[in-house]
Structure 1
Amino acid sequence: MTDMRGRVRALAYRTFYRLPGRWKRRIVRTFQPTYTIGAVAIVRDPGLTQLLLLRQPPGAGWSLPAGLMDRGETPVQTACRELREETGLEVPVERMRAATPNAIVHTSGQWVDMVFETEVEPGEELVVDAAEILEAAWHRLDNLPPMTVSTSRLLAHYGIGPYKEYPEVLEA
């Protein structure tokens, strides 16, 4: 029985590799999980004592500036664009650093967050897009407001927030 499965599998692979490239891509996309790619900006003050957070509708918790990549955009460009759109802060790509880890893979929701860090003076005026953002504000790292679960989980990877002491959060 195992020998028969092996032969069928080998035949399937030989057939697959003979198909035109576009057919192979379509087959792979049909059977492989797809992931949505987004970018997140962790923005702190130069003294690293404050964190910029956003409150979005419905306003149940605070989150980070973030969004989905547009076609043809790099993750760092997405992080800069989302930061500008959501807060009015103009941070050039050169001032963004890839966080470590840079990619957080959410297998249960099938999305990947590419995470970048930068520092900004808290005195700069924040201009929110009222359609998307209820409020943007700086918060002390030792006194963070209630955050969304996904934001709390993501920040734990960087030793920030209420879940930073829970290693099981990083494994999920």
Structure 2
Amino acid sequence: MKPLRAATYGVFYRLPIGLRRWIVRRAVPKYVVGAVIMVRDSEAGGERLLLLRQPPPGRGWNLPAGLLQRRESPIVGAARELAEETGIRLRPEELSPAVPNAVVHARGWVDVVFEASVPASTTTLTVDGAEVYEAAWHPLDDLPKLTKASAKLLAYYGIGPLADQPGPWASLRR
């Protein structure tokens, strides 16, 4: 380690914790954190996925998702967003972390991704007509036009039109 860098770290770690946090918050990149939920139809062996059609600019279908509130844990935010956008009310413990659980995007946001499975035939979908126009189940092998963000995110899980294309997700599947 170079002497200047070692000295800088030495001084930094001697500072009070509050001051260290203040410095870190101003020095490191800021990210927006969202929660995304991949909801599968348990009656179709998980081969159908719940997607949402939302207002432009997306002009395609999305996964249920939204930004976390201040100090909200990702799993609680995921359950909240799922209920708000689809009417599906699940307890946080009914969600499972997807693998990978967090996807860091180049433009400054992080998606924390969860999975859930519900029976489509007995699950009532409720949308507000403003934030979400439509919610529907789609077979994994016949997905509608996805937004670019959803297509890229689903590719990390080997799903959708980009799943077989090169990208940062390709190294995660073997």
The match for 2:156 is: 157
Post-superposition shift, 1:10? 4.1
- TM-score normalised by L of structure 2: 0.86
Q: Does the aligned pair in 2 maintain the 1:40–1:65 contact within 8 Å?
A: yes
Correspondent of 1:51 among 43, 49, 52: 49
Report the counterpart of residue 42 of structure 1 in structure 2.
Answer: 38
**Contact 2:52–2:62 under 8 Å retained in 1:** yes
CA–CA distance in structure 2, aligned partners of residues 8 and 94 of structure 1: 47
The count of corresponding residues between Structure 1 and Structure 2 is 167
Give the equivalent residue in structure 2 for 1:3.
Answer: none
Give structure 2 stretches of 5+ with no counterpart.
Answer: none
Following the alignment from structure 2 to structure 1, what is the Cα–Cα distance between the partners of residues 102 and 4? 37
Given that residues 63 and 148 in structure 1 are in contact (C-alpha distance below 8 angstroms), is that contact kept between their aligned partners in structure 2?
A: yes
* Rg comparison, structure with higher value: 1
For 1:148, the equivalent position in structure 2 comes to: 147
Distance 1:102 1:10 in 2: 34
1:74 is aligned to 2:99 = no
Please give the per-residue CA displacement for 1:78-122, whole angstroms capped at 9, x wherever unaligned: 11110100000112222211111111111x122211111111122
Instruction: Normalising by structure 1, report the TM-score.
Output: 0.87
Structure-2 residue corresponding to 1:115 = 113
Instruction: Tell me whether 96-105 or 79-88 shows the greater mean CA deviation.
Output: 96-105
User: Partner letter of residue 83 of structure 1?
Assistant: L
Counterpart amino acid of 1:109?
A: R
| Sequence identity percentage | 52
Look up the equivalent residue of 1:30 and give its one-letter code: R
With over 3 angstroms needed to count, the CA separation of the structure-2 counterparts of 1:169 and 1:11, relative to structure 1, is closer
Shift of 1:126: 1.0
CA contact (8 A) 2:50 2:63 kept: yes
1:96 paired residue number: 95
Unmatched tracts of structure 1, length 5 or more: 1-5
